[in-house]
């Protein structure tokens, strides 16, 4: 319905970059808001490790460009997209939010889309990395970008048959929920939301029933069905009446993780295909997440996730022919060097192509204004002649200054420049062939190394120091021999 704001995210003085990113993505992915994390989707990143992947991209950006603005760095952007109550399901909101984020970033930045259902109006919290996927540049936050994202959001909503706000003018201090208008959810909708809220922390069906009782619901069991009633509710609601993902069998499957659903508060939800996973994902620092306030349910899931990713990492290393940590370090460094060299060659070719275009433009201008400038000089720099032909003379001098800045004594012909441009363009296209694959391999090895460091308890700076010490010892031994 509307994108309410676009906010750049900065580093606080008491936070590291990773902590600052984790704080914002953690808020967006809050399981209490996203139905246990089911209403979260990512692009070019695994939502579960988005903070660490954003941070890894920033390290790569700094390595490639050498730029670091310290506390002035914009580490990411966050915008919210809200919808009219009762007009859209959480799954549909997830699709609309994903489409809006993709069109806004043009697929050049990793992002996560998180649908929050803790308010009467459904809204998307979207966080995207300021660093682009190539790690060579950052998002350009232009003037009036908040207005632009609001217009794009309205366009996407209209295309999906959703309402938009005409001339939005919310009262000062009034919450966005009140501005949109409140709508009391039904008893069944409240029950679905509460079930979605307690399921992620339930380890068994009896645990689930106890959690519902603790939440104030009266649980009625008989041979045929289970029903629940909230305080103030007149008629109990049977689980099987809530939808296919809320029957007793479905809830047992969700607890055992044999069923994955994105549930809805208005019809029982539907199966959602997960986005394709990359071969290896970063391991989660469980202790750090616990210190951030994650509960036992998250810890249980994270341990299972880390076990799976550890196995994937080992299989990846085996498939890649890596059988030692030192070999992993060497291959990771070699692949990064190869990728960076390829990127540097592409950038050099593109820079020269841009120079050729600029040179062609100035040569054309120089040729067209040469006669006028010659007449001006022949007139003894007559002021009246200058005023009459000010534009031509100014362009001619600008072209001449451009040639002088390049140290050109003899101008190349347009034909020579066209030939060089064609040759360079072919070379650039060859360099781009396999570029994305090389980038992916480099990233996979970096992630595998990060996982190996965490599994072995090795810090990057410690290994680097050990490597330098080993090399120094070998040089000394060689010198003694």
Instruction: Give pLDDT tens digits for 339-367.
Output: 888 888 988 888 888 889 888 888 888 88
Q: What is the pLDDT of residue 111?
A: 95
Give the residue, 465 or 312, on which the prediction is more confident: 312
Q: Which residue has the tokens 């799976």?
A: 308
At 3, the pLDDT band (50, 70, 90 cuts) reads low
Is 371 a member of any domain?
A: yes
The dihedral region occupied by 399, where left means phi > 0, alpha psi between -120 and 50, and beta the remainder, is: alpha
Q: Is the dihedral of CA 141, 4, 109, 61 positive or negative?
A: positive
Same domain, 12 and 95: yes
Same domain, 244 and 155: no
Same domain, 24 and 170: yes
Q: What is the pLDDT of residue 239?
A: 87
Same domain, 10 and 88: yes
Contact 123, 84 (CB under 8 A): no
Is 82 a member of any domain?
A: yes
Q: What is the pLDDT of residue 78?
A: 94
Give the domain extent around 243: 187-255
Same domain, 239 and 358: no
Helices (H), 106-215: 145-159, 176-180, 187-198, 205-214
Q: What is the dihedral of CA 254, 87, 144, 71, to 10 degrees?
A: -20
- Tens digit of each residue's pLDDT (9 = 90 or more) over 303-328: 887 888 888 888 888 888 888 888 88
Same domain, 120 and 6: yes
Q: What is the pLDDT of residue 34?
A: 93
Same domain, 179 and 191: no
Is 206 a member of any domain?
A: yes
- Tell which of 183, 212, 240 closes a domain: 183
Percent of the chain having pLDDT more than 70? 83
Main-chain dihedrals φ then ψ at residue 128, nearest 5 degrees = -130, 150
Number of domains in the chain: 3
- Tell which of 163, 183, 203 closes a domain: 183
Please state, in angstroms and rounded to a whole number, the distance separating the CA atoms of residues 109 and 107. Answer: 6
- Tell which of 255, 273, 303 closes a domain: 255
Q: Find the radius of gyration of the CA atoms of the chain.
A: 30
Q: What is the pLDDT of residue 280?
A: 64
288-302, 363-377, 402-416, range with the lowest pLDDT: 288-302
Q: Which residue has the tokens 């498939």?
A: 319
Mean pLDDT, residues 158-176: 59
Q: What is the pLDDT of residue 400?
A: 87
Is 440 a member of any domain?
A: no
pLDDT at 94 over 90: yes
Same domain, 371 and 238: no
Q: What is the value of pTM for the model shown? A: 0.46
Q: What angle do CA 161, 162, 168 make, to 5 degrees?
A: 140
Which token pair is 168? Answer: 């939005």
């Amino acid at each position: 319905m509307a994108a309410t704001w676009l906010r750049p995210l900065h580093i606080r003085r008491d936070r590291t970059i990773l902590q600052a990113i984790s704080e914002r993505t953690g808020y967006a992915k809050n399981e209490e808001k996203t139905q246990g994390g089911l209403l979260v989707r990512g692009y070019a990143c695994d939502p579960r490790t988005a903070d660490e992947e954003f941070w890894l991209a920033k390290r790569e950006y700094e390595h490639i460009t050498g730029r670091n603005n310290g506390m002035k760095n914009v580490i990411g952007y966050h915008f919210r997209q809200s919808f009219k109550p009762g007009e859209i399901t959480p799954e549909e909101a997830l699709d609309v939010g994903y489409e809006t984020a993709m069109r806004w970033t043009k697929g050049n930045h990793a992002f996560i889309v998180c649908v929050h259902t803790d308010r009467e109006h459904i809204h998307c919290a979207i966080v995207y990395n300021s660093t682009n996927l190539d790690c060579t540049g950052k998002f350009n936050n232009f003037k009036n970008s908040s207005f632009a994202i609001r217009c794009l959001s309205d366009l996407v909503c209209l295309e999906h048959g959703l309402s938009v706000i005409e001339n939005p003018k919310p009262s000062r201090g009034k919450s966005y929920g009140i501005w949109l208008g409140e709508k009391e959810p039904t008893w069944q909708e409240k029950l679905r939301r509460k079930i979605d809220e307690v399921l992620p922390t339930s380890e068994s069906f009896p645990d689930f029933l106890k959690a519902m009782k603790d939440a104030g619901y009266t649980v009625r069991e008989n041979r045929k069905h289970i029903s629940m009633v909230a305080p103030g509710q007149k008629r109990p609601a049977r689980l099987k009446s809530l939808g296919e993902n809320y029957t007793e069998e479905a809830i047992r499957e969700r607890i055992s993780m044999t069923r994955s659903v994105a549930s809805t508060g208005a019809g029982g939800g539907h199966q959602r295909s997960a986005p394709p996973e990359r071969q290896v994902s970063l391991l989660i620092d469980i202790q750090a997440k616990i210190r951030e306030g994650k509960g036992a349910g998250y810890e249980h899931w994270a341990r299972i996730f880390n076990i799976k990713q550890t196995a994937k990492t080992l299989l990846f290393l085996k498939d890649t022919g890596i059988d030692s940590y030192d070999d992993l370090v060497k291959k990771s460094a070699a692949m990064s060097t190869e990728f960076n060299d390829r990127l540097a060659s592409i950038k050099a070719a593109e820079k020269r192509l841009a120079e050729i275009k600029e040179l062609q433009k100035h040569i054309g201008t120089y040729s067209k204004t040469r006669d006028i400038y010659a007449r001006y000089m022949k007139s003894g720099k007559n002021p009246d002649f200058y005023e009459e032909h000010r534009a031509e003379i100014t362009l001619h001098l600008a072209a001449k200054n451009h040639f002088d800045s390049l140290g050109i004594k003899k101008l190349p012909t347009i034909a020579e420049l066209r030939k060089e441009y064609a040759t360079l363009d072919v070379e650039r296209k060859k360099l781009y062939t396999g570029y994305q694959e090389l980038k992916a391999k480099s990233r996979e090895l970096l992630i595998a190394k990060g996982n190996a460091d965490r599994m072995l308890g090795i810090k990057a700076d410690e290994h680097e120091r050990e490597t330098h010490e080993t090399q120094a010892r070998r040089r000394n031994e060689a010198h003694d021999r």
